[in-house]
Structure formats: C-alpha cells, structure tokens
Structure 1
Amino acid sequence: MLIPRLFPSRFRLLGYFISIFLVLSSLVRIALLIWSFSNVDTSLFKLGNTLLIGFLYDIGTVSFFALPYGLYLLLFPKKWVGSVVDKGVTYFAYTLGLIIFMFSFLAEFTFWEEFQRRFNFIAVDYLVYTYEVVSNINESYPIPLLVGIILVFVIALIVLTKRKGIFKTTFTSTNTFRQKLVPFVVIVVIAAIFGLFVKNESAEFSENRYNNELAKTGIYSFFAAFQNNELSYTDFYKTLPVSEAFSKLQSQFVANGDQLKFPNKNSIYRTITAKDTVPAQKPNVIFICIESLSAEFLKTLGGEDFTPHLDALAEESLFFTNVFATGTRTVRGMEAITLSIPPTPGRSIVKRKNNQELFTIGQVFKEQGYSRNFFYGGDGYFDNMNTFFGGNGFDIIDRGRGFLLDASVKTKRTNIEDDEVTFENAWGVADVDIYSKVIKEADKAHETGTPFFDFVMTTSNHRPFTFPDGKIDVPSGTIREGGVKYTDYAIHEFLEKAKKKPWFKNTVFVIMSDHCASSAGRQELDVKNYHIPAFIYNVQGVPSQKIDKLASQIDVFPTLFSLLNWTYDSNLFGRDILTMKPSEERAFIGNYRKLGLLKDDKVMVLGVQKKANFYSWERATNELMPLPEDASFLKETISYYQVADYLFSNGGLQLKTVVLDN
C-alpha cells in the first residue's frame, strides 16, 4: 500500500493501520451507496464529489486515531524499541483500533437500516442507555454471529500484518527523532485542520440528503454529534429583532380572539375564552401516544391495510387527516405534545437541563382540577422521561427498575409489577399490558371522583417488533408490519375493555403518533414522513367527522380544550384546529438541525449557517421543488422558531416566570 511507504520504518505499522481504515471506510461508503442507489444523485459530478469528500473525511477521522500512537512512537526511547513493553503497547493499540473500526463499520449498517443516516445524536443517546439498546440489538440481530465476524476480521488482519513483516519492521526500526517528526507533524496538521476548521455539516454539498450522508464518515459524525447536540438558535439561524418576532405571533393570537396578558412584554401568555355558552365538560382524558405510527399504515389515509381497528375508529371520532409530527423521535413528539411548541434546534427539551416546572398541557389540566399520570411500559429513566414528566407535575407509572435521573424531582411513582406483565422486550411491556395497567389505575381514580389525565407511551411498534404470540397474523419479531398490526390490535382490545367500565362514558380518548416510522428521504426534510394520524374519540355532544385542515401535533390538545369549552390561561403555541381559517393552517416539521414551516404545500426550511431554502412540496411525488425566496413567509417561519427558542432559553416557559411572577 502507498500510505505505509510514505512513513519511516518506525511508523510503518501506523501507516498500515491508516490504510486499512481508508480502504474499509471506502468500502462501507460504496456498500451504503449501492444499498440506497435509487435515492442517490448519480450524476458524475455529484457522485464524484460524494466519494472524494468522503475520502477526505476518512483521512481526517483516522488522523485523530493515529495521533496518540504517533505521539507514542515519536517519544518512546530508541533503546527500548522492540522491548516487551513496546510490543505490548503496540499489539494492544493495534487490536483495539481494529476492533473499534470493525464494530463501528458493522454498526453503521444497522443504523443506516433504521435511519438512512450516518451516526448522529441518536447514536450518542443510544450509547448512554446501554441496557435498552444492547437488549434491543440482542433481540433484533444475531449477536454471536456479528461478534464472531468482528473477531474473525480482526484476527485475520493481525495475522496478515504479521506475515507482511510490518510488526518486525516497526520493532527493529532505528529511525532518528527527526525522521519520526515529519510523519507525526503531518498527522498533527491534518487533525488540527479537521478539529478546528472542518465541521461535519461541511460535507453537505448537495441538495440530495443521501449524497450528503454518504459523503460523511460515521465515526466523525458520531463525535460531531456528541459535541453539538445543542445548538444556539441565535448563533446558527436567521433571526429577526426579538420584539418583531414576538409581535408577529402576538398579532396572530389577538386576531384569533385571545387576550394577551402582557402585550408589551416578550410573552405569548394569554387567556383563551370558551366561545360556546354551554357548560364546560371535565371528562377524564386518556392520551395514547403511539410509537412510530406513520399515516401510510392506515388504509383510511391511503396507506396499507394494516390497521383495521384504527380505520374503523376513524369513522367514530374526530379524525384529523392532515396532521404532521414536529420531529423524528419520541422525545420530540413528547415535547411538541406537552409543551405545544415548535421544535427547537438540537436535542429535545425533554432531554435538556432546566426542563422542569414548565408551562405544559399538564398545567392546564391541573388548573381544571385533574390528576396527571405518565405511563410507560419500560424504565422511564430512558430518554430522561421520568425527570421531564415528574418534574412537570405528572405521577409516574413505569417498570420501576430505574431511578429518576434528577433527585430533586419529587413525585409519586408506581411500578408495573412482574405479575402484571405477560410479555416484555427490551423497550418495555407489551401494549396490552400497559393498557391493563391504565385500566387498573383508572378504576382507582374513578373511585375518588377526581378527573384524571393519563399520558400513555406505547412501545410495541418498535424494533425488534416482538409481542405476544397468537394475537395477529404476523409472527412476532419479524417485520414492522407485525408491530403495526399488534399496535392496532392492542388499542382495540383496550377500548373494548374500557367500554365496560363505569368511567368510559365520561372519558375522552386522544390517540396520536409520536413520529413516523422513518424520516429518511432525499430532501432536506422529507415532508411525507412527518404525516401522522390523530383521533379525538368519545367527546360527548360532538359528532364524528374527518378534519382535513393542515395542522401540527402541537394543536391537538388546544383543540380538545376548545371542544370541552374551557376558558384557560395559555402559554402554548398550539391553536384550535377546528376554527383555523385556510390562511392560518400550518405545520412545523424538523430534525435536530433543520426547522421547517409547511403552509399551502409550500415549505420554508431554516438551516445552520443562517441559511433558508423555500420549496413547493409536490404531495404526489413527495418532492421539494425550489422556489424564489418569499420574504413574508420567511419572517413568519423565523418568528415561530425564534420565539420558541427565546422563551425556553430565557426562562419564558417556566411556571414561576409565566404564572407565579406575573
């Protein structure tokens, strides 16, 4: 190989190590390219840039790995070269490096299968929650086989290296300090350039997302995500004067009939007055947040025939056909639903610091006299859920094997006991089991006479898609279709059992997905893969109907509050979908870096480096077609996201700021 020859004999093994990484990383890139070939821009220029940029990122990545051993080679005394210590350090470092490379390359294929992306902040989070992730991998893939493959490759490479005499060359070298300094300086310079001046997003040269992802290197992307899982909106995105941004949103709320409490402050805190003269209803509310249920899984939304029970329920509910999730992860959906807020850049507020004692929909329920409960079939320490919900006034019902991550959170906690579980996988108990717990707790709450709000997070529609046998016509643990069908089955069973309870008539059921099963696409934001179903079922006096208005996840609970004829104080961004005029219909979609506003089948996408791109969304083909910039649309988009970030960053979502101090 050419690269080892560029290094003096003492650095020969390091050069060989670099060559192995560059070859294997290139092969991984080519394999992923072939895997996603139909989505890649294969024009000669774009394809060439993808491979060239990718190779440069490979060089930058491997320079970081080469740096510590290069320093060792430079400073290790010449008289001890080839000693037991030298051989021990070298063999250990070489083996460890190969294991890391082989593991990361193999992991990239599983990550790409799920997300069609290089490693990002999701992979960083997965590293934190090792129990769930390792268990999930163990249930989804043949771990002994994969480990065996890694070990076989590592051993084979070590044997090949030895046979080529590279170890011997390294251990018998007589290179001087000056000879060793040259390659070390080269490594330092490359690492410094990539560490100080090259960002992961610099690889994004194309409008095609797949080309951009393939141009990156997985390990480099992982560490970039580790460092940058929170982004400052004002530093990275287009902004307006703060007063102008707030003024734009305040004027919308006032036009809707809301009364601003502090019109001269940077605030959206306001009073929403019931428009009907009939008495307010205070039914129990059970919200089912369904894991990864895309609109494409429902036949009634033009998709597959996987959910006959939900399709039937659509005929008996207020069924919202044009609702879009704000993000691509469960915590992003939880953020949107509970805080009724557009997505903020970086990680979800659910996982950030200072995310307790916020103004949430739970506060609205509290003011109406409700108890509040968060149900999760796994351990709610995962993704910081217990800390977030417990710190915002919810009692916790979960598997109970973990702890609240923040000791300052004081809340009631109830365990799902072993004798209440019929089936469990890495993520938690089967949906039927969590629903059984919901019914049990609802029976207890009914006896007290206090209305309750239950937030129920399901888990079964998630890889490895395992569930109790004999319930549906798809074997457990095979394909996503099985997870979807079991989810549909479990909801039907739950509602049938609930109908037999004395509290059913006075209980409203809200059902909505946290996000879609996949967010991958060629575009900056794949709009179709944010489309989710939403139901409001069993509101007394409200006839069933299909609502085709464009809306967001953040609007569903404000719509429910309106249906129940509540007058309440609000710090929520969401609006009553039913009263939206066509010009007011909009949806927020985003990932951890891109922030989009969808209106009239047009999309404005805000990106880092203060970029903004405007598109027409072709629903039939799911393509984004570039449009000239629309200044008014851009300002509206900025105002939503800038105000959301401003409120969180400056304490404007805190109860003590919003309610108590005013």
Structure 2
Amino acid sequence: MGNISNILNNLRPFALMIVSILLLLSISRLALISLWYSRVEQSNAFGFILGQGLRFDAVLLGMLLVPLVLLMPLLSTSSLMFPAWRMVLIIYATLTFSLIAFMEMSTPAFAEQFDARPNILFFEYFEHPKEIFATLWGAYRGQLLLGIPSVLALGWCAQLVVKKSMQAAVPLSPFVAMPLAFVLLLICVMAARSTLAHRAVNPSTVARTNDALINDLALNSTYSVAYAAYEMRHEEQGGARYGNMSDEDALAIVRRESHIPESAFVDEYTTWHEAGAGNAKARPLNLVIILQESLGAEFVGSMGGLDLTPNIDALREEGLSFDRLYATGTRSVRGIEAVTTGFLPTPSRSVVKLSKSQRNFFTLGQMLKEQGYDTSFIYGGEAHFDNMRRFFVNNGFDTIIDEKDYIDPVFTGSWGVSDEDLLTKAHQTFEAMGDKPFFSLVFSSSNHTPFEYPDGRIEPFDKEKQTVNNAVKYADYAVGEFFAKARQSSYWDNTVFLVVADHNSRVHGADLVPINGFHIPAVVLGSSIKPQHYNKVASQSDLPPTLLSLIGIQGLNPMPGRDLTQLADDVPGRAIMQFNAIQAYMEDDEVVILQKGMDPQCFTFNGTHLVDERQPDSRISNIAVAHSSWASATYENGRYKSLLANSADTGDNHDVLAEAGLTPALEK
C-alpha cells in the first residue's frame, strides 16, 4: 500500500496539470464558440468542435508531458535529486500553463484579424517587436492591460498548486520508476498520435466543415503554433504540396495556362521566356507601383463598397481599371511578392522572407535595372520590416528610402511617416530623375492598425478617429494629392502608374476561402493609358507582365502571369488565392479549394459566397494543383533565379540559350 500511495503522490502533479490545462482549454474554446456562435450554428459544428477539441487537447498534453516522463527515472529515484525533481515540476508546470493561457488569451484578437487560430504569422510578427508592440498598444491596449496580469496570476496559481501537490511525495524506487515511466511514455505517445493509423493526426483531421475558422476552433492555439513551427522545416524545399502531381506535368500545365506561345520559352525546364511588348516604345516608359496597405474593394465606392475613396474612384475612370482583381494573399509580403516578382503563392511564406530567394531571384527591379532603369523602394516605415530591405537590395533595387530619410515629416505614427509624407518624397524623387528611366515601388502604411494619421485632412467617416474607415479615407486623400502634383510634373508624360492594394484589411468569413475578402482595386494610369474597365477575373500576379507590356519592355522573364493587354477574349479569367494553409484557384466563377492531405473540392462563387459544392472537375482541379505544385518546385529548384545564376549553379540553361541566340544578350 505504501508504494501505491507514493506512486499516487508522485503522479498527483501530472494529474493536476492535465485537469487544469483541459479546464483552461475548454473554457477558452467555449468562449471562442460564443464569439463566433452564428458561424458555429450555421456549420452545425458545436459537438464536432467540443469532441475534436478534447482530442487535440489530449494531443497537446501528450506532447507536453513527454519531457517530464523521460526525466522521472533520472530525478525522482534518489533523495539527492528529488528536490531538483520538485523544482523541475514546479517550473515546467508554471511555464507550460502560462504559455497555454497566453496563447488562448491572444486568440480572439488574432482570429478577428486573420480568421484563424495563431499560426505561422504569429512567428512573423514577433520578429519585429517595435512594430508589433506599437500596434498592440495602439489597437489592443485593453486586452494587454487585462491579459498580461491574468497570465501572470494564472502562472502563480499553477506553481502554488504543483508545489502543494508535491508535499507528500518521496523518492520512488528505481524498480518502480522505470516501468511507471515506460507506461506513462506509452500513454503520452498514444495521446499525441491520437490514432493507430500510419500518420498521426494533424490539422487536416479537423478540416470537416467549409468554414476554416470553425475547423480551427477544434484545435488549441499552442498546438496550432507548434504545428506551424513543425511545418516550417519544409519551407526551403518549397513547402508542403497539395496533391501528387509530377513537376513535369505541373510545368506543362502552367506554361499552357499562361497563354505564352510555346516558341517563346527558352528551355524545357522552366517558365523563362522571351516576352514581347504590346506597347513598343522608342524610349520605354518609367514605372511606378503605389502599393496601398489593406485596401479591399469593400472600402471603394465605385466597386460597391463604402464611399471612402473619391480620389481612387475618379482615377478608376481615367485609366485601365481592373474590376475583378484578386489578391494572392492576406499579408503585405504576399502582395509584394505578386506585384514585383509575379511569383505564385505557396503554402510557405512569401519569397520575400525565404532564404533561397534572397539573391538573384527575379524581380521587376532586377529586369529593369539590367535595361538601364534607376530602381527604388520607397517606404514610410523601417525597411527591414518583413525582410523587405534585404530582399530588395539583393534583387535589383538600387535605392531604399525609409523612415530615417524623411526630414521634418508632417506626421509620424507607429508604422512610420504618413502616406502624405511618403508620396511627397516619391514625387520629389521622381522629379530629380531627369531623363533617366526609373522604376519605383512605393509602399503605403497609414491604413494599418492602429490607424494613425494627421488631423485636418479629411472629414472623418466615423466619429471615433482611429478607425479603418477613417484611415482608408486619409490614404485616399494622400493618393489624390500625389496625382495632382504628378500631372503637373516633368515625369508624367513618360510614366505608367499602378495603384493597387497589397491585400484587404481583414479577410474573414464562413467559407473555406472567403473570396470576397481577396477582391481589391487596381488601376493603371498615365498619359499613354486609355480609360478602360477590364471585367474578367484577374490575379495580382498578372499585373507585372501586363505592366512590362504597357511600358514597352521586351526581354526574358520567368513570370507565369498573363499579359492582360494581349489575352484573347475567349480565355477565361483566373485568380489564385492563399488563405493560411488553404489555396483557392478561381476560373470565372468556378473555384477549386486545395487543402493539404485532402482531395480538391469544387464550388461555384456566386459573387458573395462559395455555393454548389460538387464532384471535382478533373480539368480545373489539375490546373489548380499544377499552379501550386509549380510554385513549390520552382522555388525549391532555384528556377526563378536569373538564368545566369542558374547557369553558374547547374549548367542547365547555357546550351539551350546559346542555341536560341540569347546567351550573348544576357552576358552583356
């Protein structure tokens, strides 16, 4: 009886940890269900969330307890080491409980922004503590002031409970501790795997409804972040794949769907091709891309949104306006990836942040620099954010202008100087170019949480000042002021401008991919651009090849996007959207949803929601899988880098280019 009693005394801290963590996670899950109850009810998922939630809480507990179980035979079997065992239990339980509490308390704000539990984006934000803390303090001050003391209090309570639970425990016999640890380890492994099948459970296990957030509620946030960290190991191999298509088949489909003549491709392994210009010029035009932070179609009056953007509404009638353009993702770096490189989205992070794309990766900056352009990136904040400076400097951008380069700005907020200051700096920079051709990416930031902007510029839309609606209205004001100056400038007649959003403000909804949340404005302007509305579905990744055509640039590039100025009328429009770990491929109103470890799902987009789920259409499903597979394989194999870089690394392209008569031009 004494041995049994002592075993129970030693197991009591484990039992208390299990009960406390399960209770905490259950309370959090019920709170999240209440916050999104209408969507839970619509999905008829209440029982599913609770049942699978308990399962994944057990998965987390199984993983968390393994270190303690392994240490038990080493620390709990001698009087000398037993005090250290007590201390390990107390510290581990306190830190673990505090971490789980922190993750659950941070979930509502994260889900409100990204319509998902914390995931890989959680890591990305914590790489930039200055910006993230300023944002949290400005927009979530109440949650911080309540949450941090709550986490500390819960951690303190946890250590008191564990300390008290160990009072009656004494060292175990090694002959008891060893088999006990083996049994406990077996239980932990079984709990962590949660299945006898070949593969352990993972987030795909709970992908049961057509609402991605509802599926996520069946997880817990510590697990979702841990799984994201686990998946990051695949990033340098191009990320996890959807489907099982061969790289050769994927490449063939992507080349076909780009509607680039087969004779234009320079080898059989890549999408590098000789692109013509639909608007040939004796002197190619300058190019300016104004990338607008978080400007979804829902804020643009002429696109059916709120009446917040009178200047952009006017510009849309003066240039080439894309009425059904969709962003490739929900982060700024995804928008940068699309409009400066033409690369397609993958389940991994944007190539702006990945290591294999930090040198000789194709960008418009690199291509135009080789053709004699001055190239620049102009930003109002700190350019190191999201690895932008490194990516641009190493891939063809001559000049980086950021917050430190502004003298006496009108206004400085959490994310840097105002859009007003940004666009004034851009105008001054362009005026100084003289006759030298230039390309510039100008990236705004005023329309970003916590929505700070100078007084006296706009008539507020909302009574409260710092709202997204007011920030959008101010950002539009700054765009209007810029174009008023640009029209009177020395560079206006020789420049093509693109005003486009990087992504929407918040992408959320009950669909697996909320397509409406990816709908963004874009308009191409300039003295050479005739007013026109492009009404087909189009993607952000179609914009770079279209822009090259409009400014009169010919040459080699690997972009699989379409030159929309030369696309035949009978070709259906298409867009590719990455939403957390899910990808959507849309062709007109047909949508294919891709999830890891699952077969493609086919829907119809009715203008607001995905409806009419049906058996997968093999043609469009194969196209969807091909584009995702191509992007992963192309990144992994380095085939989006300059051809000279590829040639130096592998020798793959040199002979082919020589036969095509293109090598001399590249070697100039």
Partner Cα separation in structure 2 for residue 186 and residue 98 of structure 1: 24
Give the corresponding residue for 1:407: none
Partner Cα separation in structure 1 for residue 579 and residue 245 of structure 2: 22
Compared with structure 1, are the counterparts of its residues 452 and 217 closer, same or farther at alpha carbon in structure 2 (3 Å cutoff)? same
Give the corresponding residue for 1:467: 453
* CA offsets 1:363-401 (integer angstroms, 9 cap, x no match): 33224421111122222222211121111111342447x
How many residue pairs were aligned? 630
Return the match for 1:176 from 172, 179, 192. Answer: 172
Gaps of 5+ in 2: 194-198, 649-653, 658-668
Is 2:576 the partner of 1:575? no
Partner Cα separation in structure 2 for residue 636 and residue 70 of structure 1: 48
Give the corresponding residue for 1:38: 38
Partner Cα separation in structure 2 for residue 203 and residue 279 of structure 1: 55
Is contact 2:75-2:82 (8 Å) kept? no
Partner Cα separation in structure 2 for residue 248 and residue 375 of structure 1: 37
Is contact 1:270-1:570 (8 Å) kept? yes
Partner Cα separation in structure 1 for residue 631 and residue 85 of structure 2: 56
Is contact 1:47-1:211 (8 Å) kept? no
Partner Cα separation in structure 2 for residue 491 and residue 467 of structure 1: 14
**For residues 480-629 of structure 1, what are the structure 2 equivalents within 5 Å?**
480-540=468-528, 542-580=529-567, 581-609=569-597, 611-619=599-607, 621-629=608-616
Partner Cα separation in structure 2 for residue 245 and residue 10 of structure 1: 57
Q: CA deviation at 1:201?
A: 2.8
Return the match for 2:185 from 182, 188, 199. Answer: 188
Partner Cα separation in structure 2 for residue 6 and residue 378 of structure 1: 60
Which one-letter code corresponds to 1:440 in the other structure?
Q
**For residues 21-420 of structure 1, what are the structure 2 equivalents within 5 Å?**
21-41=21-41, 46-77=45-76, 80=79, 88-142=87-141, 143-155=144-156, 161=161, 167-174=163-170, 176-177=172-173, 184-185=181-182, 187-193=184-190, 194=192, 197-229=200-232, 230=234, 236-252=241-257, 256-257=260-261, 259-262=263-266, 265-275=268-278, 279-355=281-357, 356-399=359-402, 415-417=404-406, 419-420=407-408
Compared with structure 1, are the counterparts of its residues 66 and 546 closer, same or farther at alpha carbon in structure 2 (3 Å cutoff)? same
Partner Cα separation in structure 1 for residue 536 and residue 463 of structure 2: 37
Secondary structure at 1:138's aligned position in 2?
helix
Which one-letter code corresponds to 1:636 in the other structure?
I
TM-score normalised to structure 2 length: 0.87
TM-score normalised to structure 1 length: 0.87
Compared with structure 1, are the counterparts of its residues 215 and 569 closer, same or farther at alpha carbon in structure 2 (3 Å cutoff)? same
Is contact 2:496-2:551 (8 Å) kept? no
Compared with structure 1, are the counterparts of its residues 635 and 623 closer, same or farther at alpha carbon in structure 2 (3 Å cutoff)? closer
Which one-letter code corresponds to 1:27 in the other structure?
I
Is contact 1:344-1:641 (8 Å) kept? yes
Q: CA deviation at 1:482?
A: 2.2
Secondary structure at 2:13's aligned position in 1?
helix
Compared with structure 1, are the counterparts of its residues 245 and 79 closer, same or farther at alpha carbon in structure 2 (3 Å cutoff)? closer
Compared with structure 1, are the counterparts of its residues 152 and 256 closer, same or farther at alpha carbon in structure 2 (3 Å cutoff)? closer
Is contact 1:210-1:522 (8 Å) kept? yes
Partner Cα separation in structure 2 for residue 43 and residue 335 of structure 1: 34
Cα root mean square deviation, aligned: 2.9
Partner Cα separation in structure 1 for residue 70 and residue 138 of structure 2: 41
Secondary structure at 2:466's aligned position in 1?
coil
Partner Cα separation in structure 1 for residue 505 and residue 560 of structure 2: 26
Partner Cα separation in structure 2 for residue 123 and residue 102 of structure 1: 15
Secondary structure at 1:482's aligned position in 2?
helix
Partner Cα separation in structure 2 for residue 536 and residue 631 of structure 1: 36
Partner Cα separation in structure 2 for residue 78 and residue 571 of structure 1: 64
Partner Cα separation in structure 2 for residue 108 and residue 183 of structure 1: 36
Partner Cα separation in structure 2 for residue 201 and residue 239 of structure 1: 16
Q: CA deviation at 1:33?
A: 1.1
Give the corresponding residue for 1:408: none
Is contact 2:86-2:166 (8 Å) kept? no
Is 2:16 the partner of 1:12? no
- Greater mean alpha carbon deviation, residues 351-360 or residues 281-290: 281-290
* CA offsets 1:447-473 (integer angstroms, 9 cap, x no match): xx2111110111121111122233331
Partner Cα separation in structure 2 for residue 186 and residue 323 of structure 1: 57
- Identity of matched residues, %: 28
Q: CA deviation at 1:599?
A: 0.8
Partner Cα separation in structure 1 for residue 518 and residue 489 of structure 2: 35
Which one-letter code corresponds to 2:242 in the other structure?
Y
Partner Cα separation in structure 2 for residue 304 and residue 271 of structure 1: 42
- Greater mean alpha carbon deviation, residues 74-83 or residues 283-292: 74-83
Is 2:410 the partner of 1:422? yes
Compared with structure 1, are the counterparts of its residues 118 and 179 closer, same or farther at alpha carbon in structure 2 (3 Å cutoff)? farther
Gaps of 5+ in 1: 401-414
Compared with structure 1, are the counterparts of its residues 75 and 274 closer, same or farther at alpha carbon in structure 2 (3 Å cutoff)? closer
Is contact 1:280-1:564 (8 Å) kept? no
Q: CA deviation at 1:179?
A: 5.7
Partner Cα separation in structure 2 for residue 121 and residue 311 of structure 1: 35
* CA offsets 1:251-309 (integer angstroms, 9 cap, x no match): 455x655742435x122222222346x63453322211111111111111111112122
Compared with structure 1, are the counterparts of its residues 187 and 6 closer, same or farther at alpha carbon in structure 2 (3 Å cutoff)? farther
Partner Cα separation in structure 1 for residue 127 and residue 346 of structure 2: 22
Partner Cα separation in structure 1 for residue 168 and residue 646 of structure 2: 71
